[in-house]
Amino acid sequence: MGNPPVKSAGCGKPATIMSGKRSIMSSGQDRSYIIDIPNNYDENEPHRLFYTSHWIGSTSEAVRDQDYYFLKPLAQADGVRAIFVAPQSDGATWQQKDHALFDDLLAFVKENLCIDTTRVFATGFSFGGMITYSLSTNHQQDIRAAVGIAPANYNIWLPQKTREPIAWMHTTGLQDGTCPWVNNEGAKQGAKFIAIEKAEDNGCKIPAEIPIHTGGNHVCYEFEDCDPGYPTRVCTFGGGHTNIDNEGGKNWIAEDSWDFFMRF
């Protein structure tokens, strides 16, 4: 996990794009997105890339206004070079064509900016967590680690899963009625089954019962004996459907997400 960075084709090229709202052709459509490039951008230094997907019926601007799920200020505080991309869905939900949008945006960023191709990360809340999960099932060669915030494994288009390993974390409020811990035990619907699937893909030991929140502060469980480089972590808490849960004056969801990404 401490591998040296692998520079993209855009390294060494003077930046020709600026932060802001842009568009790209994808699947025959003009699609919009927001890109956030740091003020101290250096075309010779590889940057981490964060792909941040919005929730249902929302916008890329809403993600930007939340500082990309509150990761941007944490990157700035730690002096980490990071570029953020917030795509815009075509309609209320994410769809099959949004896999192609990810591919097209990643290719564009690699070609035009200096990123570390081994440190591409994905995250999102609610339906944004669901497309993050969907991408994680067949983009393991592109995405190093992903964090789903209140995700679900149903009511979202899913590709043929490769079952390759990927570093994975997600958060779920046990009072969440929108994307619950368990929606249907028999159909294996719910965040619990995302955790089990990722643990299986990553070669982890799966306990008879995953430890979850029963009171007090949030509880994170890290699966044991996972394949080296592929940690698998699930965090539960007593709240509902949210990407903000403060403990000790801090939003632990953002803090824990950042700490997870910074393992790589």
Amino acid letter, residue 182: V
Question: In which region does residue 233 sit, left (phi positive, over 0), alpha (psi from -120 to 50) or beta (all else)?
Answer: beta
Residue 54: CB partners within 8 Å, gap ≥ 6?
60, 62, 63, 86, 87, 88, 89, 124, 125, 127, 128
Q: pLDDT band at 261, cuts 50/70/90?
A: very high
For the domain covering 20-261, report its CATH number.
3.40.50.1820
| Domain residue spans of the chain | 20-261
What pLDDT does 157 receive? 97
Task: State the Cα–Cα distance between residues 9 and 241, nearest whole angstrom.
Answer: 40
pLDDT in tens, 25-80: 999 999 999 999 999 999 999 999 999 999 999 999 999 999 999 999 999 999 99
pLDDT in tens, 142-172: 999 999 999 999 999 999 999 999 999 999 9
* Pair of tokens at residue 195: 């955790």
What pLDDT does 206 receive? 98
How many CA atoms lie less than 13 Å away from 50 in the CB half-sphere?
A: 30
What pLDDT does 92 receive? 80
The residue with tokens 């009072």 is 175
From residue 115, alpha-carbon distances to 122, 146, 242 in Å are: 14, 17, 30
Q: What percent of the chain has pLDDT over 70?
A: 100
Paired with 7 in beta bridges are 116
Q: What percent of the chain has pLDDT over 90?
A: 98
* Pair of tokens at residue 52: 């941040």
CB 135 within 8 A of CB 153: no
Element (H, E) at 125: strand 115-125
pLDDT in tens, 176-200: 999 999 999 999 999 999 999 999 9
Task: State the Cα–Cα distance between residues 204 and 230, nearest whole angstrom.
Answer: 9
Residue 28: CB partners within 8 Å, gap ≥ 6?
none
Task: State the Cα–Cα distance between residues 52 and 36, nearest whole angstrom.
Answer: 11
* Pair of tokens at residue 74: 């944490």
pLDDT in tens, 68-98: 999 999 999 999 999 999 999 998 899 999 9
CB 245 within 8 A of CB 237: yes
Whether the pLDDT of residue 1 is over 90: the answer is no
Burial (Cβ within 10 Å: 0-12, 13-18, ≥19) of residue 53: buried
What pLDDT does 97 receive? 98
Whether the pLDDT of residue 2 is over 90: the answer is no
Burial (Cβ within 10 Å: 0-12, 13-18, ≥19) of residue 172: buried
Span 106-124, average pLDDT: 99
Q: pLDDT band at 174, cuts 50/70/90?
A: very high
